[in-house]
Structure 1
Amino acid sequence: MINTYENKKMLVAGNWVEREKTIKVFNPENQELIATVPSASKEDVALAIEEGIKGAEIARKLSTNERMTILNNVVKWIEENQDLFLTTLVNESSKTIREAKKEVKRCIETIKISAEEARRIHGKTIPFDQMEGNENRLGYYMKVPVGLIVAITPFNDPLNLVAHKLGPAIASGNAIILKPSSETPLSALLLARAFKESGLPNEMLSVITGSSREIGEVLVTHEAIRMITFTGGYEAGEDIFSKAKVKKISMELGSNSPCIVLKDADFNLAVNSIVSGAFWAAGQNCLGVQRVYIEEDIFDKFKHELVLKTSFMKVGSKLEETSDMGPLINEKEAIRVERLVESAKECGAECLIGGKRNGTYYLPTVLTNVPPDHEIVTQEIFGPVVIIEPIINLEEGIEKANNVSYGLQAGIFTKNIENAFHAVNTLNYGGVMVNDSSDFRIDAMPFGGMKKSGIGREGVPFTIEEMTETRVVCFKI
């Protein structure tokens, strides 16, 4: 791990710059200061936008081959510097070494897919002569870049979520200004270095580190910004939406993901999947399993096995290969989770395992008998806590699963194809995983939610669709 304090620079239109005012970056495991980054001003943002306007014109003129070449060069740079990415990610985030290895691998995959999808941005011919009087017209529609994009990313996947913004933006011929989380800006800056070293024109990318309170409004309200892509909490998303005015907006705003386990399910598969889905990245995962509804015939057995499997989870140092779970991102978040659990217990919930905090660490926790209207049931926990409850049948499970304001992904475990399709057609979620927990995603699939979980879809080809406009061309002969 990095044990020396470092001053990092931010990237403004291809230039690495320092500022007198800085933000401290800590290792969540031990609160060691590992770096500082510049605290950007409104003037920094104005400069990034000014240069980004030029960058959008440069990007628009890049050929498909040029964009693919840049992205393929980025892939090579990451592959050649995987240890640097891995060290950076483990130091600044909650990820264990095994979780970080997977995220670096996924980042490479995301950029690879972006390079491939650059060649698949197609239009389509239009038969204008379908309408009487237009027999002498022919034409087509084409996809064109939106222009200058602002991307805002959270702390929980500080490398691959950034790749999901930068890769598709460059693939589709846009310029982009990224504002990463102040908790985890180092991975984003390192990925920006990969783009810069790979031949990306300077004006096409800025990575602005700073406080959202100071620079956020300038970023989202400026008329030159043609699209905002945001991953974060619902309240922040609502605030951005209210200020953005007329722009394209794509948002992933978290969830409160359920899984349903029927009595005919593959029992061991369901238990193992739910433990992994609930406690990956210390539960700081928008797809993390939060609520589990288990058919009552198998509830007691499932409860026993789930608690047993949870007891085997090793909570420890992020650098140890044997660690299954690391700390939360900071002590404030760990205290927030602790208060939620204690409040639920005061209202009658039973804590079957866990429920204890040590600094930034919070033990994997399983609750039952939680009042259905308690905040820990209705809102996003974003911590290593899962709630289990019995259900009479699938219909009750679907009703309870749908009875929240979020709708990102859900899971169902069953061997009955009719039950599976019924769940697919009635669960109000952007994704329904059959015989998988809600915590499943590949980087090429459409990803996004319903209700408070967001607007639009990510996943590289679908992000490219969001980051382009449709232009109709018609020739009168």
Structure 2
Amino acid sequence: MHTARASESMDVTDPESGALVGTVARHRQVDACAALDRASGARADMADLPTHARMAALRASAHTLKGQVDTVAALIASEGIKTITEARSEVERAAETLRLSAEAARDLTGKTIRFDQYPTGVGRSGWAEPMPVGVVLGITPFNDPLNLVAHKIGPAVAAGCPIILKPHEATPLSALWLVDVLAEHLPKGAIEVLTGQGAELVPPLLADDRVRLVSFTGGLATGRKIAASAGVTRLVTELGSNCATIVMNDADLDLAVEACVSGAIAAAGQNCLHVQRIIAQRGIYQKLRERLADGFSAVVTGPKKDPRTQMGCLIDEASAIRVEAMGRNAVAAGARTLAGGLRDGVHYKPTLLECLRADDPILRDEVFGPITALMSADDIDDAISQANATPFGLQAAIFTQRLDDAYRAVRSLDVGTVIVNDSTDYRLDAMPFGGTGQSGVGREGVTAAVAAMSEPKVACFRWLASLQGAAS
């Protein structure tokens, strides 16, 4: 890794307590350009790095990570919004992401081409081989400051691409820790890290055609700006969602309630897979309503590092105020509060609302906070119609014991992934991950990301008559 020295620095503070967690460089545009020079200079070295060396680097880093779960989890919980329990889980997942990346490096293979399928191809043979796309720009958010970094860096290493990482300015320490571990095993310039404001650092990189792919996870507004500036540069973007979970009359309510409450409070709702809407068939609406209200009210909130805490804080007070305003506006327009609705500084109680107006932003946009709307539906078709009534389409879920309803949901929900008998807050790091509509472009997940960071190069051999004769 090369983290450029900077004449300025910035503090990283705990959003819950305001305590100083660390200090990092505040990079400027000149630093971004220098980082791109170094990354571009490492392109050939990374492309030539043997597969076994890529795999060894990723495996060694995963091993180091698994050996320091408590240390790294404490760092995640200090600089960000995760509870200590959530942070430990994230460290384990990040190690798995690196392991999967090592396997993806080995599985990155090409295919032969039958040139003689057309008359002009007789006497020719060849193949298509995946080659590294070049310099990758990876931009990550604050809500998963380690694992989403692993999802950018791991596939880049597997594909043989140098990467410039821009972690969120509020949570750069976890990223720097991981990059320091990986960089020990890689050529100089293979991973460059820029810490500071994205609005200053990203534009000059987008304007330079040496950046061949941008992998961005973050908000829709920023994603649109990146897409408008990227030109012909490849994009893989995950831009959030408004995830709906359908609960049918025949659902296992114990399972549904537990999963929906858990999925609503994970990362204090600052999660693209957040259970933002629960659509219940009318036959179980009242029973589900009561049990969800009890479940939301029973969630233990408090200090992030207390193992008993189930939900932590928002990233800053401005975010907590914004989420509180969304809830208040919904209630002022006629919604009913079943649980929560109270803010204390950066903490906002898990909130369950019902009777929202059809045009309420909570039913259409991404809250990115712990508010969930409860809705009713007549039947499976009504539930699917309501679930699709948003421009986002990352994931949706359905609880049912009827195979035909589950299959109809899988076929008809306009999303990237449908989860059956679990909430939307489920992701396997190995699966393709992304959505439709405003949820983004392309797919992440290790294998999909490695494919995006590669491009096929075709080799076509026309055999000379003398060689053909020798072969015969």
TM-score (norm 1): 0.96
Which residue pairs with 2:99 in the alignment? 112
1:79 aligns with 2:79: no
- Equivalent pair of 2:2/2:191 in contact (CA under 8 Å): no
Opposite residue 147 of structure 2, the aligned amino acid is: N
Given candidates 233, 240, 249, the residue that maps to 2:219 is 233
Give the SS at the match of 2:164. strand
Q: CA RMSD in A?
A: 0.9
Are 2:183 and 2:190, in contact at CA under 8 Å, matched by a contact in 1? Answer: no
2:291 corresponds to which letter in structure 1?
A: E
Q: Which residue pairs with 2:171 in the alignment?
A: 184
Does the residue aligned with 1:203 lie in a helix, a strand or coil?
A: coil
Distance (Å, rounded) in 2 between the aligned partners of 1:174 and 1:51: 13
Spell out structure 1 runs of 4+ moving beyond 4 A. Answer: none
> Which amino acid in the other structure matches residue 207 of structure 2?
T
Quote the residue 2:420 is aligned against.
434
Question: How far apart are the structure 1 equivalents of 2:444 and 2:67?
Answer: 27
Q: 1:207 aligns with which of 163, 184, 193?
A: 193
Match of 1:150 among 126, 137, 140: 137
Q: Aligned with 1:277: secondary structure? A: helix
Q: How far apart are 1:72 and its partner, in Å? A: 1.3
Query: How far does the alpha carbon of each residue in 1:338-372 deviate from its partner, in whole angstroms, 9 at most, with x for none?
Result: 01001111100111110000000000000000111
1:303-342 alignment, distance < 5 Å: 303-342=289-328
Between the aligned residues of both structures, percent identity stands at 41
Q: Which of these residues, 32, 44, 52, is aligned with residue 45 of structure 1?
A: 32
Whole-Å Cα distance in 2 between the matches of residues 24 and 357 of structure 1? 26
CA distance in 1, matches of 2:61, 2:22: 24
- Is structure 2 residue 123 aligned with structure 1 residue 136? yes
Tell me whether 384-393 or 213-222 shows the greater mean CA deviation.
Answer: 213-222
SS of equivalent to 1:250: strand
Matched, 1:280 2:266: yes
Q: Which amino acid aligns with 1:226?
A: R
Q: Secondary structure at the match of 1:291?
A: strand
TM-score, length basis structure 2: 0.97
1:17 Cα deviation after fit: 4.3
Give the SS at the match of 2:64.
Answer: helix
- Distance (whole Å) between structure 2 residues aligned to residue 290 and residue 219 of structure 1: 35
Matched, 1:345 2:317: no
Instruction: Quote the residue 1:31 is aligned against.
Output: 18
Deviation larger for 78-87 or 115-124: 78-87
Paired letter, 2:455: E
> Aligned equivalents of 2:70 and 2:379: distance in 1?
49
CA distance in 2, matches of 1:18, 1:36: 13
Name the CA distance, whole Å, in 2 between partners of 1:470 and 1:286: 32
Question: Using the alignment, how far apart are the partners of 1:228 and 1:15 within structure 2?
Answer: 20
Residue 169 (structure 1) aligns with: 156
Distance 1:162 1:261 in 2: 34
Partner of 1:388: 374
C-alpha contact (below 8 Å) 1:351/1:367 kept by paired residues: yes
Q: CA offset at residue 293 of structure 1?
A: 0.7
1:411-454 Cα distance to aligned partner (Å, 9 max, x none): 00000000100010000000000111111111100100000000
Contact 2:395 2:415 in 1 (8 A): yes
Give the SS at the match of 1:463.
helix
Aligned residue type for 1:314: V
Q: Distance in 2 between matches of 1:293 and 1:216?
A: 39
Residue from 250, 259, 262 that aligns with 2:236:
250
Aligned position for 2:342:
356
Note the alpha carbon deviations across 1:376-411, whole angstroms, 9 max, x for none. Answer: 211000101100011111111100100100000000
Q: Distance in 2 between matches of 1:160 and 1:346?
A: 39
Q: Partner of 1:370 in structure 2?
A: 356
Q: Which stretch shifts more, 309-318 or 105-114?
A: 309-318
Q: Secondary structure at the match of 2:120?
A: coil
Which residues of 2 match residues 8-19 of structure 1 at below 5 A?
A: 14-19=1-6
Tell me the matched-pair count.
Answer: 463
Shift of 1:129: 0.6
Aligned equivalent of 2:437: 451
Q: Distance in 2 between matches of 1:22 and 1:376?
A: 38
Contact 2:3 2:194 in 1 (8 A): no
Contact 2:3–2:193 (8 Å) recurs in 1: no
How many angstroms does 1:309 deviate by?
Answer: 1.2
Shift of 1:222: 1.1
State the shift of 1:16 in Å. Answer: 4.4
Secondary structure of 2:398 counterpart: strand
The separation in 1 between residues aligned to 2:147 and 2:153, in whole angstroms, is 10
8 Å Cα contact 1:316/1:326 also seen in 2: yes
1:70-118 Cα shifts (integer Å, max 9, x gaps): 1111112212332321111010111111100100000000001101111
Q: Which ranges of structure 2 fall in alignment gaps of 5 or more residues?
A: 464-472
Aligned mates of 2:360, 2:108 — CA distance in 1: 46
Alpha-carbon distance in 1 for matches of 2:181, 2:202: 25
The answer to whether residue 81 in structure 2 is matched with residue 94 in structure 1 is yes
What CA distance in whole angstroms lies between the structure 1 residues aligned with 2:455 and 2:431? 20
Q: Is the 8 A contact 1:23 1:182 kept in 2?
A: no
Contact 2:397 2:419 in 1 (8 A): yes
